[in-house]
Amino acid sequence: MALARRLADDARFSSLYSVAGRTRAPVLPEGLESRSGGFGGAAGLAVFLKDGQFDLLVDATHPFAAQISANAAAASEKAGMPLLSLRRPGWSAREGDRWQAVPHMEAAARALGPQPRRVLLTIGQLELAPFRAEPQHHYVIRSVEPPPEALLPPDCTCLTARGPFALEGELDLLASQRIDCLVTKNSGGSATEAKLVAARQLGLPVIMVERPVLPVVGSTVISVEAALGWLDHFASSRPTERGV
Protein backbone atom coordinates (compact mmCIF):
# COMPACT_ATOMS: atom_id res chain seq x y z
CA MET A 1 0.00 0.00 0.00
CA ALA A 2 2.79 2.45 0.88
CA LEU A 3 4.46 1.82 -2.48
CA ALA A 4 1.13 2.20 -4.29
CA ARG A 5 0.55 5.58 -2.65
CA ARG A 6 3.96 6.78 -3.84
CA LEU A 7 3.31 5.56 -7.38
CA ALA A 8 -0.04 7.35 -7.47
CA ASP A 9 1.87 10.64 -7.59
CA ASP A 10 4.50 9.48 -10.08
CA ALA A 11 3.61 10.56 -13.61
CA ARG A 12 6.27 8.30 -15.10
CA PHE A 13 4.13 5.24 -14.40
CA SER A 14 0.57 4.26 -15.28
CA SER A 15 -0.10 1.85 -12.41
CA LEU A 16 -2.84 -0.62 -11.54
CA TYR A 17 -3.27 -1.72 -7.92
CA SER A 18 -4.70 -5.23 -7.54
CA VAL A 19 -6.03 -6.90 -4.38
CA ALA A 20 -7.07 -10.50 -3.89
CA GLY A 21 -10.63 -9.60 -2.91
CA ARG A 22 -10.72 -11.59 0.34
CA THR A 23 -12.12 -8.68 2.33
CA ARG A 24 -15.37 -6.94 1.47
CA ALA A 25 -14.05 -3.41 2.06
CA PRO A 26 -10.31 -3.35 1.29
CA VAL A 27 -8.33 -0.17 1.86
CA LEU A 28 -7.36 1.15 -1.57
CA PRO A 29 -4.87 3.89 -2.46
CA GLU A 30 -6.36 7.19 -3.56
CA GLY A 31 -5.55 8.42 -7.03
CA LEU A 32 -4.64 4.99 -8.39
CA GLU A 33 -6.67 2.67 -10.57
CA SER A 34 -7.56 -0.48 -8.61
CA ARG A 35 -9.06 -3.90 -9.19
CA SER A 36 -10.21 -6.72 -6.91
CA GLY A 37 -10.26 -10.47 -7.47
CA GLY A 38 -8.18 -13.22 -9.00
CA PHE A 39 -6.85 -13.66 -12.51
CA GLY A 40 -7.33 -17.39 -13.02
CA GLY A 41 -3.91 -18.52 -11.86
CA ALA A 42 -0.52 -17.80 -13.38
CA ALA A 43 -1.72 -18.36 -16.95
CA GLY A 44 -4.61 -15.93 -16.51
CA LEU A 45 -2.35 -13.32 -14.99
CA ALA A 46 0.11 -13.65 -17.85
CA VAL A 47 -2.69 -13.06 -20.36
CA PHE A 48 -3.92 -10.06 -18.35
CA LEU A 49 -0.44 -8.54 -18.34
CA LYS A 50 0.01 -9.03 -22.08
CA ASP A 51 -3.47 -7.76 -22.97
CA GLY A 52 -2.98 -4.72 -20.75
CA GLN A 53 0.42 -3.99 -22.31
CA PHE A 54 2.11 -3.80 -18.95
CA ASP A 55 5.89 -3.50 -18.77
CA LEU A 56 6.53 -4.53 -15.17
CA LEU A 57 4.93 -6.64 -12.43
CA VAL A 58 5.47 -5.74 -8.76
CA ASP A 59 4.72 -8.44 -6.18
CA ALA A 60 4.07 -6.56 -2.94
CA THR A 61 1.60 -9.00 -1.45
CA HIS A 62 1.48 -10.38 2.10
CA PRO A 63 4.47 -12.57 3.05
CA PHE A 64 2.11 -15.51 3.63
CA ALA A 65 0.32 -15.21 0.27
CA ALA A 66 2.56 -17.91 -1.17
CA GLN A 67 0.25 -18.88 -4.03
CA ILE A 68 -0.09 -15.30 -5.22
CA SER A 69 3.69 -14.86 -5.23
CA ALA A 70 4.13 -18.15 -7.06
CA ASN A 71 1.60 -17.07 -9.68
CA ALA A 72 3.34 -13.71 -10.05
CA ALA A 73 6.70 -15.41 -10.62
CA ALA A 74 5.31 -17.82 -13.19
CA ALA A 75 3.25 -15.13 -14.94
CA SER A 76 6.19 -12.76 -15.29
CA GLU A 77 8.17 -15.49 -17.00
CA LYS A 78 5.26 -16.41 -19.28
CA ALA A 79 4.69 -12.76 -20.18
CA GLY A 80 8.41 -12.10 -20.60
CA MET A 81 8.51 -9.09 -18.31
CA PRO A 82 10.54 -8.05 -15.25
CA LEU A 83 9.29 -8.91 -11.77
CA LEU A 84 10.08 -6.82 -8.69
CA SER A 85 9.26 -8.46 -5.34
CA LEU A 86 8.87 -6.26 -2.26
CA ARG A 87 9.33 -8.51 0.78
CA ARG A 88 9.60 -6.83 4.14
CA PRO A 89 11.84 -8.51 6.71
CA GLY A 90 10.29 -10.80 9.29
CA TRP A 91 10.36 -10.17 13.03
CA SER A 92 13.24 -11.48 15.14
CA ALA A 93 13.02 -12.51 18.77
CA ARG A 94 14.55 -10.09 21.28
CA GLU A 95 15.70 -10.43 24.85
CA GLY A 96 12.72 -11.30 27.00
CA ASP A 97 10.69 -12.88 24.21
CA ARG A 98 9.26 -16.36 24.76
CA TRP A 99 8.79 -17.49 21.18
CA GLN A 100 8.20 -20.98 19.87
CA ALA A 101 8.69 -21.15 16.10
CA VAL A 102 6.48 -23.59 14.17
CA PRO A 103 6.35 -24.31 10.42
CA HIS A 104 2.60 -24.09 9.82
CA MET A 105 -0.79 -23.51 11.44
CA GLU A 106 -1.43 -27.18 12.26
CA ALA A 107 1.79 -27.24 14.28
CA ALA A 108 0.75 -24.03 16.01
CA ALA A 109 -2.52 -25.59 17.13
CA ARG A 110 -0.74 -28.67 18.48
CA ALA A 111 1.84 -26.53 20.26
CA LEU A 112 -0.83 -25.10 22.53
CA GLY A 113 -0.83 -28.39 24.44
CA PRO A 114 -3.56 -30.33 26.22
CA GLN A 115 -4.20 -27.95 29.13
CA PRO A 116 -6.92 -25.32 28.52
CA ARG A 117 -5.57 -21.86 27.73
CA ARG A 118 -6.93 -18.49 26.67
CA VAL A 119 -5.34 -17.88 23.28
CA LEU A 120 -5.21 -14.75 21.15
CA LEU A 121 -5.22 -15.64 17.45
CA THR A 122 -4.06 -12.93 15.04
CA ILE A 123 -3.74 -15.12 11.97
CA GLY A 124 -6.50 -13.88 9.68
CA GLN A 125 -9.92 -15.37 9.18
CA LEU A 126 -9.15 -18.18 6.74
CA GLU A 127 -6.68 -20.28 8.75
CA LEU A 128 -8.75 -21.18 11.79
CA ALA A 129 -9.63 -24.76 10.88
CA PRO A 130 -6.62 -26.42 12.65
CA PHE A 131 -7.72 -24.91 15.97
CA ARG A 132 -11.08 -26.66 15.77
CA ALA A 133 -9.11 -29.83 16.51
CA GLU A 134 -8.01 -28.32 19.86
CA PRO A 135 -11.39 -27.40 21.43
CA GLN A 136 -10.10 -27.36 25.02
CA HIS A 137 -8.87 -23.76 24.60
CA HIS A 138 -10.79 -20.50 24.51
CA TYR A 139 -9.77 -18.52 21.44
CA VAL A 140 -9.94 -14.76 21.10
CA ILE A 141 -9.86 -14.23 17.33
CA ARG A 142 -8.97 -10.82 15.96
CA SER A 143 -9.47 -10.20 12.24
CA VAL A 144 -10.39 -7.40 9.88
CA GLU A 145 -13.79 -8.96 9.17
CA PRO A 146 -15.83 -11.58 11.07
CA PRO A 147 -14.72 -15.13 10.15
CA PRO A 148 -17.23 -17.53 8.61
CA GLU A 149 -19.02 -19.44 11.37
CA ALA A 150 -18.10 -22.77 9.77
CA LEU A 151 -14.42 -22.07 10.47
CA LEU A 152 -14.76 -21.06 14.11
CA PRO A 153 -13.54 -23.22 17.01
CA PRO A 154 -16.38 -24.11 19.40
CA ASP A 155 -15.23 -21.84 22.26
CA CYS A 156 -14.21 -18.45 20.92
CA THR A 157 -14.65 -14.69 21.02
CA CYS A 158 -14.38 -12.73 17.79
CA LEU A 159 -13.06 -9.18 17.60
CA THR A 160 -12.93 -7.11 14.42
CA ALA A 161 -10.19 -4.50 14.10
CA ARG A 162 -7.82 -3.16 11.49
CA GLY A 163 -4.25 -2.10 12.30
CA PRO A 164 -2.03 -0.35 12.96
CA PHE A 165 -2.27 -1.16 16.67
CA ALA A 166 -0.73 0.85 19.52
CA LEU A 167 1.11 -0.72 22.44
CA GLU A 168 -1.29 0.60 25.08
CA GLY A 169 -4.26 -0.94 23.31
CA GLU A 170 -2.49 -4.28 22.92
CA LEU A 171 -1.60 -4.36 26.61
CA ASP A 172 -5.23 -3.62 27.48
CA LEU A 173 -6.44 -6.38 25.15
CA LEU A 174 -4.14 -9.03 26.58
CA ALA A 175 -5.06 -8.08 30.13
CA SER A 176 -8.81 -7.68 29.68
CA GLN A 177 -9.13 -10.97 27.78
CA ARG A 178 -6.85 -12.76 30.28
CA ILE A 179 -4.70 -14.09 27.44
CA ASP A 180 -2.25 -16.91 28.27
CA CYS A 181 -0.66 -17.29 24.83
CA LEU A 182 -0.47 -15.47 21.50
CA VAL A 183 -0.48 -17.23 18.13
CA THR A 184 0.58 -15.14 15.16
CA LYS A 185 2.32 -15.27 11.79
CA ASN A 186 5.75 -13.78 11.21
CA SER A 187 4.43 -11.08 8.92
CA GLY A 188 6.98 -8.42 9.86
CA GLY A 189 6.33 -4.71 9.62
CA SER A 190 5.43 -2.12 12.24
CA ALA A 191 1.62 -2.02 11.94
CA THR A 192 1.03 -5.12 14.11
CA GLU A 193 4.34 -5.42 15.97
CA ALA A 194 2.95 -3.87 19.17
CA LYS A 195 1.31 -7.17 20.16
CA LEU A 196 4.77 -8.74 20.36
CA VAL A 197 6.07 -5.92 22.54
CA ALA A 198 3.02 -6.30 24.78
CA ALA A 199 3.56 -10.06 25.07
CA ARG A 200 7.22 -9.45 25.94
CA GLN A 201 6.33 -6.94 28.65
CA LEU A 202 3.75 -9.30 30.15
CA GLY A 203 6.00 -12.37 29.87
CA LEU A 204 3.51 -14.22 27.66
CA PRO A 205 4.53 -17.05 25.31
CA VAL A 206 4.19 -16.52 21.57
CA ILE A 207 3.73 -19.30 19.04
CA MET A 208 5.21 -17.85 15.86
CA VAL A 209 4.29 -19.40 12.52
CA GLU A 210 7.25 -19.04 10.17
CA ARG A 211 6.93 -17.79 6.63
CA PRO A 212 6.47 -20.07 3.63
CA VAL A 213 9.29 -20.38 1.14
CA LEU A 214 8.64 -17.98 -1.74
CA PRO A 215 10.01 -18.23 -5.29
CA VAL A 216 13.22 -16.36 -6.11
CA VAL A 217 12.54 -14.79 -9.50
CA GLY A 218 13.49 -11.36 -10.79
CA SER A 219 14.65 -8.71 -8.32
CA THR A 220 13.86 -8.54 -4.61
CA VAL A 221 13.91 -5.52 -2.29
CA ILE A 222 12.99 -5.22 1.40
CA SER A 223 11.68 -1.66 1.68
CA VAL A 224 9.51 0.86 -0.14
CA GLU A 225 12.49 3.18 -0.56
CA ALA A 226 14.53 0.39 -2.14
CA ALA A 227 11.62 -0.41 -4.46
CA LEU A 228 11.40 3.23 -5.52
CA GLY A 229 15.13 3.26 -6.20
CA TRP A 230 14.76 0.17 -8.39
CA LEU A 231 11.84 1.78 -10.22
CA ASP A 232 13.85 4.97 -10.75
CA HIS A 233 16.51 2.91 -12.51
CA PHE A 234 13.83 1.06 -14.50
CA ALA A 235 12.22 4.33 -15.59
CA SER A 236 15.53 5.89 -16.59
CA SER A 237 16.34 2.93 -18.81
CA ARG A 238 12.95 3.20 -20.53
CA PRO A 239 12.09 6.86 -20.90
CA THR A 240 8.48 6.49 -22.04
CA GLU A 241 5.55 6.11 -19.61
CA ARG A 242 5.39 2.55 -18.29
CA GLY A 243 2.55 0.34 -17.10
CA VAL A 244 3.06 -1.27 -13.67
Note whether 175 and 103 are same-domain residues. yes
What percent of the chain is modeled with pLDDT above 90?
Answer: 66
What percent of the chain is modeled with pLDDT above 70?
Answer: 94
Domain of 188: which CATH number?
A: 3.40.50.720
The confidence score (pLDDT) of residue 113 equals 97
Q: Residue 45 pLDDT > 60, yes or no?
A: yes
Q: What is the rounded distance in angstroms from the CA atom of residue 228 to the CA atom of residue 24?
A: 29
The confidence score (pLDDT) of residue 71 equals 93
Q: Residue 29 pLDDT > 80, yes or no?
A: no
Q: Where are the alpha helices (DSSP H) in 34-139?
A: 41-51, 66-79, 105-111
Per-range mean pLDDT, top range of 21-25, 106-110, 219-223: 106-110
Q: Residue 70 pLDDT > 70, yes or no?
A: yes
pTM above 0.95, yes or no: no
The confidence score (pLDDT) of residue 240 equals 53
pLDDT tens digit sequence for 180-212: 999 999 999 898 999 999 999 999 999 999 999
DSSP tag of 65: -
Note whether 228 and 155 are same-domain residues. no
Note whether 70 and 170 are same-domain residues. no
Average pLDDT, the chain: 90
The confidence score (pLDDT) of residue 3 equals 86
User: What residues pair up with 159 in beta bridges, in sequence order?
Assistant: 142
Q: What is the rounded distance in angstroms from the CA atom of residue 46 to the CA atom of residue 77?
A: 8
Note whether 156 and 62 are same-domain residues. no
Domain count, the chain: 2
Note whether 197 and 223 are same-domain residues. no
DSSP tag of 150: G
Q: Residue 162 pLDDT > 70, yes or no?
A: yes
The confidence score (pLDDT) of residue 15 equals 87
The confidence score (pLDDT) of residue 24 equals 67
Note whether 146 and 68 are same-domain residues. no
